[in-house]
Structure 1
């Protein structure tokens, strides 16, 4: 295992052997290094992660987990996983050593997320992603226990207003509404941000910052009688700024550009909760 010059590109590559998740020895090549030193440094770091020493930082183990799972899960599933881990998990646990993460740490992390006002189903999804990483460490690398299991879960599998999914179930559903632009963008935004339905329906163009890729949650929508009513969020702490993935920001921009004569105070989704709930039920019948 040594670095070599790639004759085609002029950059450095390194060939190496590793043990995959099934315990089989594999051979692979990593290319594109600017210098020999970069290639050798990458190999040293890779070999460290292969040992699965749980004194390693959580972020390093995440990279190892991601590299393995990327070959076995669908692209859409991995995109969901990567987005949640990088935005909601690594900022808290990334620099902690895997062995040092306790159930108490998990509880503190859960409390911080609960304060953000995310929907119960989204909280459940975030928690499941972290727990999956620890379960992987137990199954394949003999980590002794899962601190998430000791801490207990957070959120709910089913929402009070609507039910959302992860991975393959959501992909099938969202594909079924692809030709309905408003519904497609509403469900995409709900899924990828974790905001509540009332918060989505209250959004205005001024709440969206496309350059920073953020959405500000400052209000909620409900239909009372025959009137549209905009109210503050359920609690003061529900006011928050959500960072969205790049692909969603691009979709939102295209959607906003398609709305005729859109004004700053116009609702981006001029529909009711009933409309989306009905749309959800009807599309589910088609894909079930």
Structure 2
């Protein structure tokens, strides 16, 4: 352990010595501190983090937690988790020792979170608030399990937010047709939204598609990858879950639309992405189309719900819908869309009546 002064730059440098998991001595150096006290504080906090001390600050705990998550989660998932923590949790709790954070502090944080607004100056959604609260609880559970924290303070305060939204937003076939006519001036927008509505695929899956993913004879598309943009770089990765890898049957008209669109792309190759766009672009196009057409505003992701709603209306079985959407199990599908089966119990009664009358 040492703290030295750089007299030329009038700054301080901290150098910490520690043993890694393999028993090897390592050193960590950080320069540029304005005072000797700042350098010593950094050194002390760094060693607490390395040793897994429950005296470490919440900000240090987050670094340890994120490093652990990096071995288990996709890059895009990690980026989303990091943004959520850095923007909604660390600013309030980061400087505090994890041992000192008590239920009263959590209550203050929850009240602060409930007062926050999104980029459109509207209150955060109840589902997003629930997600943030759950994330903080997960970090504290991590500290309890591995770093000697006695209790998770969130258990005393209870949760906030709701697991599900007030109501699911989706379009009928008629609403989609009205919308699609209004954005017919941009071929990539028209084809992309048509694929989303008639396949139920996720936006990231759509953006990763190449023409070689389509079987033009069987009228199917293979979902094997997902696209995201991370720190200015295009990332092609595995789909969200193992069941997300699937083959989706498509109406012949949609496949023909895709082929015609691809044939008009300049310098197109089968291995090139069909839609050289980002999720932000299609969000903007959704806004534009809703304004022009007058249909109610939904999210791009809600086209997936619209597809499920259409299939339910057509009498498609929950199992087939689950496989088509790439859900991990049929229970996920039933939990998400059970409210779209309003006549299910009446149908059971009618069938039982038929059994009785036929006996």
Preserved CA contact (<8 Å) 2:103 2:156: yes
Aligned length, in residue pairs? 197
Residue 77 of structure 1, CA deviation: 1.8
Structure 1 residues 103, 83: CA separation in 2 closer, same or farther (over 3 Å shift)? same
Distance 1:274 1:130 in 2: 27
Q: Distance in 2 between the 1:16 and 1:51 partners?
A: 9
Change (3 A) 1:27 1:156: farther
RMSD: 4.6
Q: 1:185 aligns with which of 280, 285, 288?
A: 280
Unaligned runs of 5+ in 2: 3-14, 118-122, 171-200, 209-273, 309-320, 328-359
1:273 paired residue number: 298
**SS of 1:99 mapped into structure 2:** coil
Q: Provide the C-alpha distance between the structure 2 equivalents of 1:172 and 1:139, rounded to a whole number of angstroms.
A: 35
Q: Kindly indicate whether residue 324 of structure 2 is the aligned counterpart of residue 285 of structure 1.
A: yes
Aligned to 1:109: 109
Q: Is the 8 A contact 2:106 2:153 kept in 1?
A: yes
Q: Is the CA contact (8 Å cut-off) linking 2:55 and 2:97 kept in structure 1?
A: yes
1:164-217: per-residue Cα shift (whole Å, max 9, x none)?
xxxxxxx97623455668893378x7xxxxxxxxxx9769xxxxxxxxxxxxxx
Which of 205, 210, 216 aligns to 1:175? It is 205
Deviation at 1:17, TM superposition (A): 2.6
Q: Which residue of 1 aligns with 2:168?
A: 161
Q: TM-score with structure 1 length normalisation?
A: 0.51
Aligned mates of 1:15, 1:97 — CA distance in 2: 22
8 Å Cα contact 1:176/1:287 also seen in 2? no
Residues 54 and 99 of structure 1 are in contact (CA less than 8 Å); yes or no, is this contact kept in structure 2?
A: yes
Q: Matched residues in 1 for 2:107 and 2:146: separation?
A: 25
Q: 1:182 to 1:50 in 2, by over 3 A?
A: closer
Give the whole-Å Cα distance in 2 for the aligned partners of 1:32 and 1:96.
Answer: 21
Q: Deviations over 1:43-74 (max 9, x none)?
A: 76432212333333211222222233323332
Matched ranges for 1:51-66 at <5 A: 51-66=51-66
Unaligned runs of 5+ in 1: 3-12, 164-170, 190-199, 204-221, 231-271
Query: Residue 56 and residue 14 in structure 1: after superposition, are their counterparts in 2 closer, same or farther (change >3 A)?
Result: closer
**Contact 1:58–1:95 at 8 Å: present in 2 too?**
yes
The equivalent of 1:151 in structure 2 is 157
